[in-house]
Structures are given as structure tokens and as C-alpha cells.
A = this chain, B = another copy of it.
Amino acid sequence: MRKVGIIGVGQSVFGVRNDVTIQELAWEAVKEALEDAGLTQKDIEISIVGSAGTRTYELYPAVPVNEYSGFSEKGPLRVEAACATGSAALAVAYNMVASGFVDIALAIGVEKMNEVDTATSLAVGGRGGGNYLWEYHFYGTTFPPAYYALYATAHMAKFGTTEEQLALVRVKNQKYAARNPKAQFQFEVTVEDVLKSRPITWPLKLYDCSAITDGAAAAIVASEDAIRKLHIDTPVWIEAIGYASDTSNITRREDYVSLKATKIAAQMAYKKAGIEPKDVEVAEVHDCFTIAEIMAYEDLGFVEKGRGGGKFIEEGQSDIGGKVAVNLSGGLLGKGHPLGGLRAWR
């Protein structure tokens, strides 16, 4: 594979962004990324737009996004992988450079989630995420109760993880969100704040859950040759990408205390990069709910299965000064969760 590096990144302010259209939101991130790389639109050969797109007015969001940002000839190629959409866009841009198809590619992740409300998004033609026929229509599953509260209760039952330990994830992530001028929630919280927040589905309270967020991020990737020609001395080389999923049918999962997809993808990436979990110093992981971050510690191999709660979180092992600093951006919990907007490069 050709070596590929990230040479510019940008990001919009996250939050309820009814002040902008999806293309204006994306441009906030694209403009920053271009400036960061010292490039203009003409340098970009293809624009990959990650957008789950289920709650925006635009039927084909890559089209207005590319048009407005000045890439109307350089796409459209929209990528969607549900909550991994941003990472998927980066993976496609990476492969298009690694293959030699282009030398410089742009990956945009953008989501407007406050245009079409949840009820409408789900009700239209009976649409649901997961699998419409079996999960949404027959069983009425939605994310908090059917997925993450289930995982949380299983983790508590099997390993003794407590509600206080779940809360500590939010406390840590808010500490950093409070210092991030682009975060949706720029304030700190205490364990007590989390425990007292409105119940959603036991054991999850409001502060155990991420929010509905509008936001965008962008990354420019380039080949080693292009980076040399541009005289860029400090690219962030992409050493490895792992890509995996698991059954979407919740009833068929092997267990309810881990996400197999994370384990497979992490092993792929570790193997390609030639490193072990203990070598990782900083990680941004999927903390859509507090329990998700605890499972990620385990599934990524930072701590053994079942120990992601307990002393690991209590001692701050996932904070600066611990074994691995996780979600220093504020994470999905503190910074906001625009589905396709940010996974890999928030």
C-alpha cells in the first residue's frame, strides 16, 4: 500500500445548528481543513462525503455539500455506515489515495440532525435503523432501552459495574468538553449530577446518553509523494485501519457485555500496525452511552473484559496520567454526536 498521511483537519462548532444549512455546516469544517493544509479547492482531486443523512432535508447530501464547498466536479461520493459514517468516509478517502487513484482526497463528515425529527424519521414508510421488519416494527427497539441499557445491565450483573462507575465516564468526558470551544456541552458535571439526571431506561440516566447534534468535520489525506511535493513536514501518517461489524440482529449476538465489531476491527488495526493495545497512548472511542466507553476499554484491549468499570475508571486509567487517555475531545457525550460527523477525527 502507498503511505497515506493526514495533512489538514477542520471542524465546525457542534450543537443545535439551525442557523446553517447542511452545506454551510460542512463548509465550516472544510474551510478549516483547507487552511490547515495550506491548500485550495483545486488541489483536492475527490471529495468523499460521510453523512448518515436520515434527519436532513437533503435527499442526496453530498451534492449540495460539494457544490457549496467548491467540489461540484469532484464527486459526489457519499458514504454511510450508520454511527461509523465519518470513519467510513475517511477509510474510503484513504483507500483512494493508497491505491494511486488520486494523490489528494478530502473526507467530510457532516450531519444535520435537527431538521427532521425522530418521530418523522422513524415513521416515514415505517423506517427504522437496525432491521425494520424484525427489530423496529415487531419489537419497537430504539437505542437506549433495547441496546445500551441491555448491555449496561448485563455488564452490571456479570461484573459488578455500578451506576457510579458509568457516571464517571461522563464526568471525565465533560471535563474535556468544558475546555473544548467547539463542544455542544461546555460544562463540567459531577457523579451526583449524572445520577440525579432524568431516568431514560434503567440504569441509564439522561447524562449517560449522548445527544442529537449538528456538526461537521473534515480531513485531507495525501500520498507520500504529494506530501513531499507540498513540503509538509508533519503529516499524521495513517498506520492502519481496521473495519468490521457484527450481526445487526440483537438476538443473535454472542454476548451482551462486549461489541464483537470493535474487537475484530481493533485486531485488524493492531496487526497491520504491528503494535499491541498497551502501546496506545490516546484513543477516541465510541461513547454514545457511558457503558459503550467502558466496553470499548475492554474490547480494544486496554483492560481485560469486565474490568473497564471498577478500578480502571475509578483510578482514572482512561484519563490523562492513566494507561490510555480516552476521548479528550469530550467524546460523543460531551462534544456531541452528529451521526456521520466526527468519528475518526473529532
Contacts and interface: CB of A to CB of B under 8 A. Distances in A.
A92 B101 CA distance: 10
B245 A74 contact: yes
A58 B127 contact: yes
Nearest to A84: B76
B116 A245 contact: no
A67 B243 contact: no
Given A81-B75, A127-B58, A261-B73, A241 B116 contact: no
A34 interface: no
Interface stretch (A152-160, A246-254, A280-288): A246-254
Contacts of A91: 77
B95 A63 contact: no
Contacts of A94: 99
A96 interface: yes
Given A67-B248, A73-B244, A92-B92, A127 B1 contact: no
Interface string A122-157: 101111111111000000000000000000000000
Given A96-B95, A98-B99, A243-B77, A121 B59 contact: yes
A72 interface: yes
B129 A60 contact: yes
A52 interface: yes
Contacts of A57: 125-128, 132-133
A266 interface: no
Contacts of A62: 80-81
Contacts of A121: 59
Name which of A64, A66, A121, A246 has the most chain B CB atoms within 10 A of its CB: A64
Contacts of A95: 92, 95-96, 98-99, 101
A120 interface: yes
Interface in A44-88: 46, 52-60, 62-64, 66-67, 72-82, 88
Contacts of A120: 124-125
Contacts of A115: 125
A345 to B, nearest CB: 18
A317 interface: no
Contacts of A88: 77
Contacts of A100: 1, 98-99
Contacts of A261: 73
23 contacts: A1-B99, A21-B133, A53-B80, A54-B60, A57-B126, A58-B132, A59-B121, A60-B80, A62-B80, A63-B82, A64-B131, A64-B132, A67-B249, A72-B245, A72-B247, A76-B82, A77-B243, A79-B92, A94-B99, A96-B99, A98-B100, A98-B101, A120-B124
Given A46-B243, A56-B125, 14 more contacts: A57-B127, A57-B133, A62-B80, A67-B247, A67-B248, A72-B246, A73-B245, A92-B92, A95-B95, A95-B101, A96-B99, A98-B101, A115-B125, A120-B125
